[in-house]
Amino acid sequence: MTVVGKTGLSPRFRRNRLLLTVVLAIYFVYTFMPIWYVITASTKTNPDLFTSFGLWFASDFHLWQNLSDLFTIQNGIFRNWLWNTFYYAVISAVGSALFATLAGYAFAKYDFVGKKFVFALVLGAVMIPQTALVIPIFLLLSKVGLLNTPWAVILPQLVFPPGVFLMRAYVDEAISSELIEAGRMDGAGEFHIFSSLAFRLLMPGFTTVLILAFVASWNNYFLPLVVLNSTEHFPVTVGLAQWYASAVSGSGGQLLFTVVMAGALVSILPVIIAFLIMQRFWQGGLGAGGVKA
Amino acid sequence: MAVIALKDVKKSFGSVNVIGNVNLSIGDGEFVIFVGPSGSGKSTLLRLIAGLEDATGGEIVIDGTDVTHMGPAERALSMVFQSYALYPTKTVRQNMSFGLEVARLPRAEIDRRVNAAAQVLKLDQLMDRKPRALSGGQRQRVAIGRAIVREPVAFLFDEPLSNLDAALRVEMRIEIAKLHQRLKATMIYVTHDQVEAMTLADKIVVLDHGDIQQVGTPMELYEHPANLFVAQFIGSPKMNVVEAAPADGGIAITGGGTLAHANPSRALVKVGARPEDISLVPAGEGQLQGTVDVVERLGSDTYAYVAVDNVGVVIVRIVGNAAAIAVGQTAGLSLDADRVHLFDASGKTIR
């Protein structure tokens, strides 16, 4: 870094920096508040949940009991849900990131008839909210008899238009056409070039799409709600919502509010872990040196 | 080793004609250079030969086989790209062996070829490095090594030195010349740098607007350019060209005197004279009169830029440091009548 002046000491810079800090602090509180509430609420007993201050712990620390209830109620079905969420998310994320990378590569590096039109369709698909597609997807799945199977959740999630859009831009940036042509001169087939020359260079883009798709699938509520009806296929989102609904309506033998809170807490941990693991793939400079810029 | 023939080769991108109608024959072991300004179609022509572009029409024949519709690998050519296009995630050794692995050569043969090429190119110490840990010149050598190990029928170079600094460019130019002498392979080389073309080529192909302007040895092109374009493109500094008309017993230079010439053609409209074919004479003598505008002293040579009224700037090359010449002095210019080039209205050379 070159120091171009003592900007750090100028009053204007300080004022701007202070303003920025305040804005970020407000944003932090805004986003962290619900998570904080989940953390405190999951340590309380049901009566404490409604009588103690919402954003602080109650005198009775009940987290371990809540967790143990979470994993034992209804023969530990929460474990099922957690596993379902996990494997729906992993398969959807890996599959959709792979498809997005292949499609993005094709859009960026090949000329074919109707390219503009097809890409416009992809762009259009980015604009359409998933919710709007759930009814047609439901009808399609019912026609092919896949309703109430894991495929009903996984197949629609393999299509991830924002990923295609992202990967096209990334391929454009990361892969020079001369690199592909060098592979062709060396006699490698198109898929060989993609898999052994290009793919490694696309890892940062690939992992970005992977994590986006993973989180999208992990948090997906509406699609599984519509296409699944057996409890054992539910992901965490739908399962917890069902428990919460039964708690609100007062049905069932046990009040489940704090258990739902503990379940919410458990369900966000893997996403945080996934982020920490994937972080190291977001490194630039993978392609440095191959092609003179 | 290959004889490459292009027959009526055409290329257009949509409605834009990039290569007009090219006929060219390249002999076995020849070092052929395509030279021309940007947009002249020289790189496209090379890519057509490589198979990276499909010809719109015509035929490309290598060693008697029509390869027009074959893929790049089937043509058994190697190419060195302008950007080097090394595989960034592979080591130098892997970069060089990749093509051989694709071709499923035995491991021992791959190692033999890669090690031999590494030795020739002095890459032995760098074999386990990735491209990003190499200097520009080293990357260039890896790119050449990758081309050599495939033992191609011909080498294609697409402006391979344009990314190097001036000193390295001269060094690599000499290495490529040596490589050609050693391998005696057919090489086709694209450049916009006429010095590279003059120094490396057995045969130069001058292109402009997708058409071949002239094919010949460097000296043929220099001494006998076929037209005004070639005359001005080859040679540095470039040829001086002035308007002229035929006259009794000579050539009347517009804005100047008459140059004695035995047989000026009726079609004559322009006269060209290379900087070394003009001499500075005392004011009042010679065919043109002007004022010395700029003097460039290179030690071995001196270039004088002489401003001539109604004609423009004429460049004169004087051997030595020409200490007597000063900016602002008036001088006469005398053209060497035996060495001038005469052009007709269409720019063709009158022989």
**Which structural domain range is residue B116 located in?**
4-231
Q: Give, as one character, the DSSP assignment of residue B348.
A: B
Cα–Cα dist A102/A96, whole Å: 10
Same domain, yes or no: B295 and B201: no
Same domain, yes or no: B157 and B282: no
* End position of a domain, from candidates B186, B202, B231: B231
Residue A254 pLDDT: 64
Nearest-CA distance B103 → chain A (Å): 7
Q: C-alpha angle B14/B19/B25, rounded to 5°?
A: 145
pLDDT tens for chain A, residues 1 to 293:
455 555 556 788 888 889 999 999 999 999 999 999 999 999 988 888 888 888 888 888 888 988 998 898 888 899 999 999 999 999 999 999 999 999 999 999 999 999 999 999 999 988 888 788 888 999 999 999 999 999 999 999 999 999 999 999 999 989 999 999 999 999 999 999 999 999 999 988 998 899 899 999 999 999 999 999 999 999 999 999 998 888 888 765 567 888 899 999 999 988 888 888 877 776 554 555 555 54
Structural contact between residues A259 and A69, judged by C-beta atoms closer than 8 angstroms: yes
* End position of a domain, from candidates B172, B199, B231: B231
List residues bridging with B34 in a β-sheet. Answer: B190, B205
Nearest Cβ partner for B83 among A184, A188, A291: A291
Strand pairing category for B186-191 and B240-247: unpaired
Nearest-CA distance A291 → chain B (Å): 5
Residues of B in Cβ contact (< 8 Å) with A289:
86, 88, 130-134, 139
Q: Cβ of A178 and B150 within 8 Å?
A: no
Q: Report the residue of chain B nearest A189, measured CA to CA.
A: B102
Q: Cβ of A289 and B81 within 8 Å?
A: no
Residue B76 predicted with pLDDT over 80: yes
Cα–Cα dist B48/B10, whole Å: 9
Cα–Cα dist A90/B247, whole Å: 89
ipTM of the complex: 0.85
Structural contact between residues B7 and B23, judged by C-beta atoms closer than 8 angstroms: yes
Structural contact between residues B231 and B241, judged by C-beta atoms closer than 8 angstroms: yes
Please tell me the total count of domains within chain B: 2
Cα–Cα dist A198/A179, whole Å: 8
Residues of A in Cβ contact (< 8 Å) with B89:
197, 200-201, 286, 290
Who's near B340: CB < 8 A, 6+ residues apart?
B251, B259, B261, B271, B272, B273, B277
Q: Cβ of B89 and A200 within 8 Å?
A: yes
> In CATH, what number is assigned to the domain containing residue B286?
2.40.50.140
> In CATH, what is the architecture of A62-281?
Orthogonal Bundle (1.10)
Same domain, yes or no: B225 and B256: no
Q: Cβ of B88 and A192 within 8 Å?
A: no
Residues of B in Cβ contact (< 8 Å) with A285:
132
* End position of a domain, from candidates B231, B255, B276: B231
Who's near B12: CB < 8 A, 6+ residues apart?
B18, B19, B56
H or E stretch at A27: helix A11-41
Same domain, yes or no: B224 and B246: no
Nearest Cβ partner for B83 among A178, A197, A288: A178
> In CATH, what number is assigned to the domain containing residue B53?
3.40.50.300
Structural contact between residues B213 and B221, judged by C-beta atoms closer than 8 angstroms: no
Please state the domain extents for chain A. 62-281
Residues of A in Cβ contact (< 8 Å) with B103:
187
Nearest Cβ partner for A201 among B73, B83, B89: B89
Q: Cβ of A289 and B89 within 8 Å?
A: no
**Residue A204, preceding bond cis, omega within 30 degrees?**
no
Q: Report the residue of chain A nearest B137, measured CA to CA.
A: A292
Residue B104 predicted with pLDDT over 50: yes
